[in-house]
């Protein structure tokens, strides 16, 4: 029984970080309809950059993390400006292919600058563990979950009520019509990439402070794809709920099934769940359905 | 006052679709641009609103003046800020947004929050139906309601010139009449000029002060609405009336076509 509580808490909190990274994906999808396949690599490069700032340059925590945010803003801006803007009004598939190219580019860049394969970040959060009932949780997990929730709330409000947020959603619906309303779509795209990069950076720092910097961070990006597919490609709510579902399935299912089956079963369970959900709700749990009037 | 001086428009640098179009819209007037499919009506509007650049089109000759300022080299955003707004053809609402959010996107470039609120009410008085539907998802509205939403969205920009591209497209005659009545009232009450592109010649000339007839990228006829309404060629080719003014009957269909006098 005690292990169940442990599995649940770990599952939910790790899932929240998946959610956070998934939010980054949803943000870009919602405003421009582009699937950012370089997400995992962005998470990777930002956590390595954090390592560079905090360990290699030895900067204090506040300055280092501040620089990481600035760097991610700049990188998001640069990606949009250099790679995606020239392709505005081209078929969406070309844009997605460009993000795939970006993924390889970033990966190459990372192994060029940081040739080693693993590293650990210094402690960002307090060290002592917290006891919840019989379960023991280290503080990173709780911080990660809290930060994810906070960013989710901010983003949801921004998209629902702010002028820019509404315009971003409108842009996803009809790019030409939005320009006819005088909305500068280029500014919308660059802003959504900048925000998305910051989310990826926060997710990267959180994941790295939990599990260290490894190439596994790219797979975390992949896992957040399954989160968005489960939750619905354009739903923040879907992303924030689907993350813990995936996390729970992984940890609870994996925890109990591994002794009975084979060691890798943990990785497979989320995908089995996704397949089942896709049968019932093809747009994901909270995805927008394509509107067709007949 | 909008003045279009002899513009030529090319798409992709090779396909020339407008061969010297000139027209003017006086402040506070309604001007109709009439013509068949492919005449270049929508292209003319897009040249004015700056949306041409998005579609790889370019004004290669001539100029467009708005109150004496040249605007044919400005971006759609700048032109919008100068008070020209275009409602695109084909009821292009933002399908996943609510009706009210659609209207708010129309006011994107305005910073006078209080006035935007009162303009929202103004749009709702012109289109009472939209007020009842303001929380509905725009994609599920009926065709007429979507067209109202698109026009209301253009109104929200508080334009000095509103360009409407075929507002009657695909609507029932009663709905067309209702929408045209609202356009006319908006023009009279808010002093907004309207440049109207339309294939439905009868309703367009019903509210317009003057009009232009376009064919193959040229203007072939222009004049006041009354002049156009009584022109034999317009009647024959655009209103489906025979020379005597009565409805055409299949019994007296001729083997030859009447020649247009403007060719």
Residue given tokens 């019994």 in the structure block:
B251
Q: To the nearest whole angstrom, how far is the Cα of B244 from the nearest Cα of chain A?
A: 42
B237's enclosing H/E stretch is helix B232-238
pLDDT tens digits, residue range A103-151? Answer: 999 999 999 998 888 888 888 888 788 888 788 888 888 888 899 899 9
SS3 A211: helix
Query: Domain-by-domain residue ranges, chain B?
Result: 2-93+159-230
pLDDT tens digits, residue range B149-202? Answer: 999 999 999 999 999 999 998 889 999 999 999 999 999 999 999 999 999 998
Q: What is the CA radius of gyration of chain A?
A: 19
Tokens of A268: 């497979």
pLDDT at A45 over 90: yes
pLDDT for A43 equals 93
Tokens of B71: 């605007």
Site from A89, A161, A180, A291 to mutate, B interface, most B CB atoms within 10 angstroms: A180
Residues of chain A contacting B105 with CB distance shorter than 8 Å: 166-167, 170, 178, 181, 183
Tokens of A48: 């390595």
Mean pLDDT, chain B, integer = 89
pLDDT tens digits, residue range A159-183? Answer: 899 999 999 989 888 888 998 898 8
Please state which CATH number belongs to domain A2-280: 1.10.3470
Residues of chain B contacting A188 with CB distance shorter than 8 Å: none
pLDDT tens digits, residue range B49-66? Answer: 999 888 888 899 999 999
For the segment(s) B2-93+159-230, the CATH number from 2.40.50.140, 3.40.50.300, 2.30.110.10, 3.40.30.10 is 3.40.50.300
ipTM: 0.85
For residue B81, give the nearest of A167, A172, A182 by CB distance.
A182
Whether chain B has a CB inside 8 Å of the CB on A291: the answer is: yes
Distances (CA, A) of B131 to B148, B150, B178: 11, 14, 16
Q: Are strands B15-25 and B193-198 parallel, antiparallel or unpaired?
A: unpaired
For residue B54, give the nearest of A172, A173, A179 by CB distance.
A179
Quick check: A181 and B153 CB within 8 A?
yes
- A160: nearest CA in chain B? B101
For residue A182, give the nearest of B92, B101, B157 by CB distance.
B157
pLDDT at A259 over 90: no
> Among the listed ranges A92-101, A212-221, A285-294, B107-116, which one has the minimum average pLDDT value?
A285-294
pLDDT for B243 equals 54
> If phi over 0 gives left and psi between -120 and 50 gives alpha, with beta otherwise, what is residue B10?
beta
Quick check: A170 and B97 CB within 8 A?
yes
User: Which of A86, A80, A90, A81 minimizes the C-alpha distance to A36?
Assistant: A80
Residues of chain B contacting A179 with CB distance shorter than 8 Å: 51, 54, 76-77
Query: Domain-by-domain residue ranges, chain A?
Result: 2-280
For residue A169, give the nearest of B87, B96, B157 by CB distance.
B96
Largest Cα span, chain A? 62
Q: What is the mean pLDDT of residues A239-243?
A: 91
| Helix ranges (DSSP H) in chain A | 2-32, 39-51, 61-79, 92-113, 139-161, 163-173, 175-180, 185-211, 216-231, 236-248, 254-257, 265-280
- Beta-bridge partner residues of B23: B4
């Amino acid at each position: 029984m005690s292990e169940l509580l442990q599995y649940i808490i770990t599952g939910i909190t790790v899932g929240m970080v998946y959610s956070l990274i998934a939010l980054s994906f949803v943000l870009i999808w919602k405003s421009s309809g582009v699937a950012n396949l370089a997400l995992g690599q962005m998470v990777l490069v930002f956590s390595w950059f954090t390592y560079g700032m905090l360990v290699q340059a030895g900067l204090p925590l506040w300055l280092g993390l501040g620089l990481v945010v600035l760097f991610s803003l700049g990188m998001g801006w640069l990606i949009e400006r250099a790679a995606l803007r020239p392709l505005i009004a081209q078929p969406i598939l070309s844009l997605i292919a460009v993000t795939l190219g970006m993924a390889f580019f970033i990966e190459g860049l990372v192994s060029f600058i940081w040739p080693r394969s693993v590293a650990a970040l210094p402690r960002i959060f307090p060290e002592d563990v917290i006891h919840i009932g019989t379960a023991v949780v280290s503080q990173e997990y709780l911080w990660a979950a809290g930060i994810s929730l906070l960013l989710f709330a901010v983003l949801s409000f921004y998209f629902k009520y702010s002028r820019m947020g509404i315009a971003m959603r409108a842009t996803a619906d009809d790019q030409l019509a939005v320009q006819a309303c005088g909305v500068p779509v280029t500014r919308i795209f660059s802003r959504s990439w900048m925000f998305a990069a910051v989310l990826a950076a926060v997710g990267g720092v959180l994941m790295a402070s939990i599990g260290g910097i490894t190439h596994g961070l790219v797979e975390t990006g992949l896992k957040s794809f399954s989160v968005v597919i489960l939750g619905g490609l354009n739903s923040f709510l879907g992303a924030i709920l689907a993350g813990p579902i995936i996390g729970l399935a992984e940890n609870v299912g994996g925890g109990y099934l591994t002794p009975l089956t084979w060691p890798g079963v943990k990785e497979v369970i989320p995908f089995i769940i996704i397949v089942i959900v896709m049968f019932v709700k093809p747009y994901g749990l909270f995805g927008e359905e394509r509107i067709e009037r007949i | 006052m909008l003045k279009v001086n002899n513009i030529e428009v090319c798409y992709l640098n090779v396909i020339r679709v407008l061969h010297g179009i000139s027209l003017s819209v006086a402040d506070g007037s309604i001007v109709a641009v009439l013509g068949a499919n492919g005449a270049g009506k929508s292209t003319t509007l897009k040249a004015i609103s700056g949306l041409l650049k998005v579609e790889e089109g370019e004004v290669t000759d001539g100029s467009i003046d708005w109150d004496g300022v040249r605007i044919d080299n400005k971006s759609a955003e700048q032109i919008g800020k100068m008070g020209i707004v275009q409602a695109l053809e084909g009821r292009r609402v933002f399908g996943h947004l609510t009706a009210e959010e659609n209207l708010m996107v129309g006011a994107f470039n305005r910073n006078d929050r209080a006035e935007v609120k009162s303009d929202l009410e103004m749009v709702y008085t012109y289109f009472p139906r939209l007020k009842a539907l303001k929380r509905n998802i725009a994609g599920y509205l009926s065709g007429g309601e979507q067209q109202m939403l698109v026009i209301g969205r253009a109104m929200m920009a508080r334009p000095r010139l509103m360009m409407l591209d075929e507002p009657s497209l695909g609507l029932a005659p009663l709905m067309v009449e209702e929408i045209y009545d609202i356009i006319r009232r908006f023009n009279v009450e808010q002093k907004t000029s309207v440049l109207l592109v339309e294939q439905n010649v009868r309703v367009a000339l019903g509210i317009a002060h003057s009009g232009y007839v376009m064919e193959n990228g040229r203007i072939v006829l222009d004049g006041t609405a009354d002049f156009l309404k009584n022109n034999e060629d317009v009647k024959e080719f655009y209103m489906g009336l025979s020379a005597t003014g009565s409805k055409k009957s299949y019994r007296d269909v001729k083997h030859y076509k009447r020649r247009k006098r403007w060719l």
